[in-house]
Structure 1
Amino acid sequence: MRPVDLSAAVTRRLMRKEARGDLPLLACLAVVVLALTALCAWAPAFAGGQEDRALRQRVDATASGAPLISVSTTPEVFGTVPPAVHMATLLGSGTTLTEQFGGPGARHVTIAGGSYDYNAASLVSPRPPGPADTRTELAVSHLPAARAHLRYVSGHAPADHTPLGTPPQIGLSQATARALGVRAGSLLTLEFAKTLGVQSAPPRAHLLVSGLYRTTAAADGFWSGQETLDQPSRYPAEHSAGTVLSVRGLVGLDAADLLAGAGVGGPRVTWQVRADLSGAALAEAHALTGPLSHYSADLSAALCQGSDPITGDLSCHIGGQATGPLLVTDSLSPLLAAFTAQDQQARGLATFAVDAVAAVALATVTVAVRLLLRRRQAHLRLQRARGASTARLVLLRCAVAWPVVLIAALLGWAAGGTLAPTGTSGSPRPATAALTAAVVALTVPLMTWLAVREPRRAGRLRRSRRNLAAGRRVVLELTVLVTTAAGVVALRSQGPDGILGAVPVLVALTVVLVLLRIYPLVLRLVLRRTRRGRGAVGFVGAARAAHDAPATGLALFVLVLTLGTAVFGGLVHRTIDDGLATGAAWTTGADASATVAGTVPSAPGAVPGTRTALQHLYSLDLAGQTDGAVIPQVAVITVDPRQLAAVAPQSPLAAALRSRAAAPTGPRAGTNAPLPSFLSPDLRARERTGGLTATVVPDGQRPVNLVFEPVGTLTAAELRDPLLGPVTAQLAPGTPVLVTTAAAGQPIPPQPSGSTVLLLKSDGPGTAEPAALRSAAARALGPSARIRVRAETLRALRTDGLTQGIGTIYTVSSILAALSGLLALVLELTLTSHERSRTTSFLRTLGLGAKEAGALHFLQLLPLAVASAVGGTLLGLLEPRLMAATLDLQQFTGGPGQPALRTDYALTVALVAGVTALILAAAVTESVLARRRGLGAVLRLP
């Protein structure tokens, strides 16, 4: 017969009994561990998906105006006799270029198409009508992507395969055809630049106008940078008097083949490389960063050998065609670098919320274990008296709690992994989940050991020991204060990271320590007044609250941190939301804006249902009126103050211009009449003589001297006026700005480097729709204008992945922190309710009534509610100010500057009211339970 191990059987029976008794508190531990491990599995994947969406939004917005990655080269047409190039074969060999991508990034790049462009050639015949020009230049391009954004109103598109014996065909816009005086069927004679070392005279070629087209409005920004395909431009000749008429046309695929046969050198061929970021966009983009950094060198090493015998340049071969060196243009890497900075800021903001949730959860675990040990205090003393060792008691507690923690961790990880989105750049964090479960699991033996360790010999508490305890408290508080100060300084200097993200927790701890020092003093002052009163309820309640203040420190910390995190999150959300409206207004300038390259010489016709204001941007070299000191490249903005005031009646810029920049008298501003002007502060600092001048040469006229008379300096509010947003967005940082009246624009000739901005404000509900505003802007400045509508811009900013991700993280973390804080508060009040019930029981035996007992419960918890509300609000308002240098919220909002921090006072009041009501509800609950307790139970209460 096998012997029975009675000790083991007793231990197992004891474990089962204690597990059943501790089931509620073990369930609390399980819920906390399950929630934290589920977050470790779900949150990184969700955040990665938001980052991917935000990056794709930026890539799509940038790619709509220009390709992110392109490879260009010039084919060598003089390597054969006669000169030849087979453009269809060359453009079709783009896959050769993507084969040179190394690593996993190769599968994410494809060739989106190819095009070619010739340098501007001189138009020999026919001679354009209208104003006499020194010469006419025609640029020839093959751009297949343009076909979807234009419509031929006469003739047809140029053929990709020209009929035998006919010249290559070209398509022109209606405006270009009018400027050249040609129509469909006309023959153009062009003189191209000669190739050095090969030709002694410039070659000539003929092009047949196959048709005339009209551009259509494109919402994808295609016409940005392609305006010359629609509108001709004129600019002053460099080495002679007069102007140059510059136009551009579209040719078919084989036009380069025919021009090569006529002796014209090879065009600039460009392949657009598309990055497919449809899945885990951020991870895929980072995988492309490395290959892109040495992509040009890899292409040269694989496709180029030796040098061209004629030009001496590096000789390359693509699809059997000899070409010049390959040039890689990479706009993806700078975009990714800028996005990474924004993403780091977003992660830093998220770290504050995540660390706060972790701190509240740890406090909840601590309170739960304390309550569990308090409930088992009598059993632990009995087991200790019967000879149980400290180690055995600790292991017994661990044997009960650790399986619950392990099962909860596994279930939470499985649940989080199931809910987590797949295919994102974020991945679950098993190490973080394991660390979280380990911290919770180790809290149990640590606190059990502190509760059951061998007590010191009982003795009289001497004054020296009390002084030693007080000294230790002072040292601890000073350590926390110094650590918090150092953390805040480090956070302000280098920004948030994984470690410094815990600084708000330290700030919360500091606030709690200050409150624990202050509010007992306040309660003592209250005691002095209540001691003189008639009733004992107020005095006893204040005395018990002062006595229990150190014991409620953990509950105070949880409440302050939870409330402070929620207030901080509301501040961030309110600041970003208000900043988005400001950023959208700055981007568009008004309800909508339209921008075209070059300066449109006259204002557009009236747009029904809208008010408009026209702004012109010029780049002029100004000189001091007296000393002649030259200030180069000044951005001169001409506006009509009355139009601006009609578009934006509350605008500070419009008000300043109307009051101090009245239009000069006289028929024209070109008669040396001073032009009232506002200067930017940097230009004002360089202007020392009281005025600035500029010399311009209008078309076919004598030079005109413009005199700009400074009447004011642009203030910060005027420089940040949304009316200037679409104009100043085109300027490099630090460019001096001068704002003057529209009269200055009359003698200034059109500049290809300038721009025209039309601001539109709707007058009625029917014209406020984005489609109506787009239509009005296109009618005013043509379909090639880049149109922005404020409602669409604001919607795009609010749906940005990073912005929504921050809002979601703070919402989720605030909810979790509130739930965990509620659990911790309930447990803490349960833990300390014994002393309050004991006091109430004694007073009830002395004749205290039920109403007075309820008031006593209320008064004992009221200081905790007040301290929590004050501390949490103070923390939520103090943290952003301490970390203002690291809160770069402009990256999420746009706009001219950092958005002002705006507290969500409605949310703050609601949170304070909720916390106060929660604590008072606990007092009501305790009072109700005390009323139901009979007198016998009261007398037996230990």
Structure 2
Amino acid sequence: MTLRLIRREARGDLPLLACLAVLVLVLTALCAWAPAVAGRQEDRALQQRVDAAQAQAPLISLSATPEVFNTTPPAVDMAGLLAAGGTFTEQLHGPAARRLTFAGGAGYDYNQASLTAPQPPGPAHTSTELAISYLPSAGAHVRYVGGHAPADLTPAGTAPQIGLSQATARALGVRVGSRLTLEFPATPAVQDAPPHATLLVSGVYRPTSAADDGFWAGRETLDQPLRHPAERSAGTVLAVRGLVGLDAADLLSGAGVGGPRVTWHLRADLSGAALDQARALAGPLSHYSAELSGDRCQGADWITGDISCHVGGQATGPLLVTDFLTPLLTTFTAQDHQARALAAFAVDALAAVALATVAVAVRLLLRRRHAHLRLQRARGASTTRLVLLRCAVAWPVVLIAAALGWAAGRALAPAGTSGAPLPVPAAVAAAVVALVVPLMTWSAVREPRRPGRLRRSRRRTAVGRRVVLESTVLLAAAAGVVALRSQGPDGILGAVPVLVALAVVLVLLRVYPLVLRLVLRQIRRGRGTVGFVGTARAAHDAPATGLALFVLVLTLGTAVFGGLVQRTIGDGAATGAAWTAGADASATVAGTVAPVPGDATSGGTSGGIRTAVQRLRTFELVGQADGAVVAPVAVVTVDPRQLAAVAPKSPLAGALLSKLAVPPGSRIGADATLPSFLSPDLRASERTGGFTSTVLAPGQRSVNLVLKPVATLTAAELRDPLLGPVTARLPAGTPLLITTAAAEPVMPDQSSGTTVLLLKSGGPAAAGAPALRAEAARALGPLARIQVRSAALGTLREDGLTRGLATIYTTGSILAALFGLLALALELTLTSPERGRTTSYLRTLGLGGGAAATLHFLQLLPLAVASAVGGALLGLLVPRLMAGTLDLRQFTGGPAQPALRTDYSLTLALVLGVTALILAAAATETVLARRRRLGAVLRLA
């Protein structure tokens, strides 16, 4: 074997070697480029979640209580203690130390103290409890309308300053310049009597509309005072909160008040390769609390006996780490795993199509070299020599293409992402292509077996092997489906749809020749020859077109499946956004409060906006039949007419309107029976009777409620978007009861309750998102958490995992279609001589040009129909097989798995495209056949 011989062989195989080079180049380039692009999408998705979570609340917080009684007199340096938060990242080493930074938003909170003077005006209160906080971030959320903010450095000899909200100042009956006398709890084992301190009201504020970052979550008492029944005596407790300056803790410690709870916040910075950074951070975070305590805490405090720690030179109690970042990362990891499993179908399908295209290219190469190989064989060339000659021609091309593809993929891949190039899959892809050449060459040139068996026995052996092979494929596909449904999708089981596609192709190869033979029986009775010959030729060539059929079916099925996933996610995202917002928008505020009166909240419209109010309370119910106690139960009061105006097509609103509606303006008395809708779990706890509940109203006598079930909420009604904002405030599994808003006068207000305002934009000039936000803030105040459906929908659609999945399926479908087009062209080129020979025979017998064109179409039409039917069937069948494990809720939100939505327009377009492609090939063959002269026709015949 000489270099000259290799060059001569390569020149003859140049077109097909170029096809192999393109396939290898694309595959290796994808192995280098695609992981980086996918990693960038994952990084964006994780950054979106981390940024959204940190906008609502800090993800990592540390807290401790300073010891003020270990010095004489008691003292604490609060400025130095808060600044020491910057040293908490010293226990984190390596990349983790750079991803957690001190947020600088440290503050402190005192437990509630009793207000002894002045006494609040109005209804008598058993006691008044005032909690004070130092919150540096409060300046962006409040605006002082009287006085000024508490000073961080109080002049010597003056009392600590405090700022109160307008509602709190009105409830306490104080103004700027008033003094508040507080009695703080005594420190055990240190003080015999509670210490007292005096605070000076320096200013009165009111909240601004800057409530989007979750500042007010859990801090509602900074604005609105709460009233709740006293625990051990009759009466009402007034609970309020105020803001103090930085040095208030220093002054209070000098007055003998125990240390406050100091809180430091750490901020996670996951920019760039966010997923890799999160993985590097997960390990240190798991033992961060133990390492921090081991470094900062030694022994026990001599006064309290608790563990004593030191922060910034200050003695403190135990350090408590609150970590919300780790659960967020765990949830994202599960979602990312699901997204990767869905993407595996597109990746595996693309790999299978590429491998089939390689097989078709090598098969065509060997078919073109068939006569040459037979001649070399006749001249004494061994099988090994022929195989090595093919390898010497093809392997350099494969290696060069693999190197160029890898270099191009590395050059195009984005830098700084969590995705790394995959050299092993690239090497495997190049090795598989390289091995296909010698294996198929050996199969084509190997010596035939010695004649010794009858032809019938050989035929039986071939049939038996085919049956065994097909049975193995069908059993493997069935086993893969069972494993997929039991274990869920993962990287390995992502190849199951490819096995299903292979099984579908095998079934088609068995079925559609039988269908063609049935058609032949009908055509044989006619006088036409073209139809009979074309159909017979198509039935005869069916096994030879198996690879082309497999490529077309898998390509079309992948595209249909991708369209189904995207359509399901798109429709499900709209449902999830509606569930999040409840209507066009919703506003949620703590407490069972009354919205500010206005046109919209009084049943009319304001700027084309309609509203409905839902109030959530938590009661303990007692079954009338068996006396069983069910607690806690979420009780929602609604006006069915308002709900029907906000959501006219809602099944829940229609059901409530038919059975809960009362005449306008009517009220239900304290002894009346309240009609109610029950959730199925609550109905199961009391199957025959109703429920009673005894609730306490602040400053009033107890109220006895009788709740009569009139219907049970169906699954569709429980998933109605109108309940979305309400159920978001409830722990999973909480029983639900819905009753009429006419019963609200007999129900006590609860500080732990929730008020939800639903808003619908309607009328000829529908209000946009800014108008909805403005109306919600006007009705419920700046503390309301506002959700707009259009904004929630935009967030779901812009999610990094969703966009990444769409990118993978779009890219995979385009590349698979290009590979499939190449495979189809090669397969048709491979089988074209047989069809041309048949046409030439008939043309020598007088067949006309139009009849020849019809013959070409008839020979390829069954392949087009089988490909379209098989691909559409595969794309529709695979999601149904994966229905139990195909969890798309992470992409759509909402309470339930979104229903699978087939994109029929895309499916129809793909089917028509595949059919048109094959028929275009038939037209091309017809044009080429017409250009043949008589001599060429006679040679083919």
> Which category describes the TM-score, using the shorter chain as reference length?
over 0.9
Aligned AA (1:43): A
1: CA distance, partners of 2:491 / 2:647: 45
TM-score (norm 1): 0.97
Equivalent of 2:21 in 30, 37, 42: 30
Match of 2:467 among 441, 464, 474: 474
5 Å-filtered alignment, 1:788-807, equals: 788-807=787-806
Helix, strand or coil: the match of 1:328? Answer: strand
Q: Give me the whole-angstrom Cα distance separating, in 1, the residues matched to 2:295 and 2:219.
A: 33
Q: Which moved more, 1:35-44 or 1:765-774?
A: 765-774
- Distance, in Å, in 1 between the alignment partners of 2:215 and 2:436 is 61
Does the alignment pair 1:170 with 2:181?
no
Once the two structures are TM-superposed, the CA of residue 462 in structure 1 deviates from its matched residue by 2.3
Deviation, structure 1 residue 767: 5.3
Q: Deviations over 1:269-304 (max 9, x none)?
A: 010011111121111111111111111110111011
Aligned to 1:94, the other structure's residue is in SS state helix
Determine the structure 1 residue equivalent to 2:907: 908
Residue pair 2:666, 2:742 contacting (<8 A) in 1 also: no
Residue identity in the other structure for 2:150: P
Decide which of 468, 483, 503 is 1:510's aligned counterpart: 503
1:336 aligns with 2:329: yes
Match of 2:49 among 58, 74, 98: 58
Q: Does 1:281 align with 2:282?
A: no
The 3 A distance-change label for structure 1 pair 269 and 762 is same
Closer/same/farther in 2, CA of residues 625 and 602 from structure 1, 3 Å limit: farther
Letter in structure 1 aligned against 2:673? P
**Does structure 2 retain, via aligned residues, the 8 Å contact 1:350–1:809?**
yes
Gaps of 5+ in 2: 601-605
Decide which moves more: 737-746 or 639-648: 737-746
Q: 2:437 aligns with which of 435, 441, 444?
A: 444
Matched, 1:191 2:183: yes
Q: CA deviation at 1:313?
A: 0.3
Give the Cα separation in 1 of the matches to 2:340 and 2:59.
26
Check if 1:694 corresponds to 2:708: no
Aligned partner of residue 619 in structure 1, secondary structure: strand
Larger deviation: 321-330 or 143-152? 143-152
Partner of residue 156, structure 1: 148
Q: What is the distance in 2 between the residues matched to 1:378 and 1:732?
A: 76
State the shift of 1:401 in Å.
Answer: 1.2
Matches within 5 A, 1:871-910: 871-910=870-909
Deviation at 1:604, TM superposition (A): 4.3
Identity among equivalent pairs (%): 77
Determine the structure 2 residue equivalent to 1:128: 120
One-letter amino acid of the structure 1 residue matched with residue 201 of structure 2:
V
Letter in 1 for 2:723: L
One of 86, 90, 97 as aligned partner of 1:95: 86
Shift of 1:220: 2.5
1:535 counterpart SS class = coil
Residue number in structure 2 paired with 1:322: 315
Moved more, 624-633 or 338-347: 624-633
Give runs of aligned pairs for residues 10-409 of structure 1, distance below 5 A: 11-113=2-104, 114-218=106-210, 219-409=212-402
Alignment check: 8 A CA contact 2:66 2:259 kept: yes
| Mapped partners of 1:62, 1:599: distance in 2 | 26
CA distance in 2, matches of 1:788, 1:672: 38
Alpha-carbon distance in 1 for matches of 2:426, 2:665: 78
Give, in whole Å, the separation in 1 of the partners of 2:853 and 2:486: 51
User: How many Å apart are 1:875 and its aligned residue?
Assistant: 0.4
Q: 1:646 to 1:664 in 2, by over 3 A?
A: closer
* Separation in 2, partners of 1:605, 1:534: 85
Q: Does the CA contact (< 8 Å) of 2:561 and 2:879 recur in 1? A: yes
Q: AA paired with 2:582? A: G
Deviations 1:5-30 (A, max 9, x none): xxx6xx32232222222221111111
Aligned AA for 1:247? V
Shift of 1:432: 1.0
The aligned residue for residue 930 of structure 2 is 931
Q: Kindly tell me: are residues 239 and 767 of structure 1, through their superposed partners in 2, closer, same or farther at Cα, counting changes over 3 Å?
A: farther
TM normalised by structure 2 equals 0.98
Partner of 2:567 in structure 1?
574
2:339 and 2:833 mapped to 1: Cα distance?
45
Which amino acid in structure 2 is aligned with residue 456 of structure 1?
R
Deviations along 1:398-427, one digit per CA (max 9) or x if unpaired, are 121112111211121122112211111111
- Aligned partners of 1:190, 1:234: CA distance in 2, in Å? 18
| Greater shift in the superposed pair: 622-631 or 118-127 | 622-631
Which whole-Å CA distance do the structure 2 matches of 1:506 and 1:902 have between them?
23
Gaps of 5+ in 1: 1-7
Q: CA deviation at 1:602?
A: 5.7
Deviations 1:865-914 (A, max 9, x none): 11111100110000000011121001110101000000000000000000
Alignment match, 1:763:
762
Give SS of 2:263's match: strand
Offset of residue 556 of structure 1: 0.6
C-alpha RMSD of the superposition: 1.4
**Per-residue CA distance 1:447-483 (angstroms, 9 max, x = gap):** 1111111122457852222122111111111111111
Tell me what 2:856 maps to: 857
Deviation for aligned residue 1:221: 2.8
Deviations 1:826-881 (A, max 9, x none): 00010011111111111111111111111111000011011111100110000000
User: Given residue 882 of structure 1, which amino acid in structure 2 is its aligned partner?
Assistant: L
**1:128-166 per-position Cα deviation (integer Å, ceiling 9, x unaligned):** 112222111111011111111221111111111111111
Report the secondary structure of 2:204's partner residue: strand
Q: Is the 8 A contact 1:65 1:223 kept in 2?
A: no
1:706–1:744 CA contact under 8 A, matched in 2 = no
CA distance, structure 1, for counterparts of residue 560 and residue 687 of structure 2: 50
CA deviations on 1:754-782 (whole Å, 9 max, x unpaired) are 11111111134765322211111111111
Q: Give the match's secondary structure for 2:103.
A: strand
Contact 1:854–1:927 (CA<8 Å) still a contact in 2? yes
Counterpart CA distance in 2 for 1:604 and 1:732 is 31
Q: Deviations over 1:554-600 (max 9, x none)?
A: 11100100000000000000000000000000000011111111111
8 Å contact kept, 2:37–2:414: yes
Q: Is the 8 A contact 2:634 2:734 kept in 1?
A: yes
Q: Identify the residue that residue 483 of structure 1 maps to in structure 2.
A: 476
What is the identity, as a one-letter code, of the residue corresponding to 1:714? L
Q: Measure how far apart 1:626 and its partner are.
A: 4.2
Select which of 486, 490, 501 maps to 2:494.
501
1:629 to partner: Cα distance:
2.0
Deviation string, structure 1 residues 813-833 (Cα, Å, up to 9, x no partner): 000110100100000010011
Q: Which amino acid aligns with 2:31?
A: C
Partner amino acid for 2:209? A
Alignment partners' CA distance in 2, 1:512 and 1:767: 53
For 2:745 and 2:38, how far apart are their aligned partners in 1?
Answer: 54
**Distance between the aligned counterparts of 1:668 and 1:567, measured in 2?**
57
Quick one: distance in 1 between partners of 2:336 and 2:185? 49
Q: Give me the whole-angstrom Cα distance separating, in 2, the residues matched to 1:666 and 1:428.
A: 70
Matched, 1:565 2:565: no
SS in 2 for 1:551: helix
The equivalent of 2:603 in structure 1 is none
**2:129 aligned counterpart, secondary structure:** strand
Native 8 Å contact 1:85 1:257 kept in 2: yes
Partner deviation per Cα, 1:514-558 (whole Å, 9 max, x = no partner): 111111110110110111111111111111111111111111100
**Partner residue in 2 for 1:3:** none
CA contact (8 A) 1:599 1:750 kept: yes
Whether the 8 Å contact between 1:118 and 1:268 is mirrored in structure 2 is yes
Residue aligned with 2:543, SS? coil
Q: How many residues align?
A: 933
Q: Deviations over 1:343-388 (max 9, x none)?
A: 0000000001000000000000000010011111111111111122
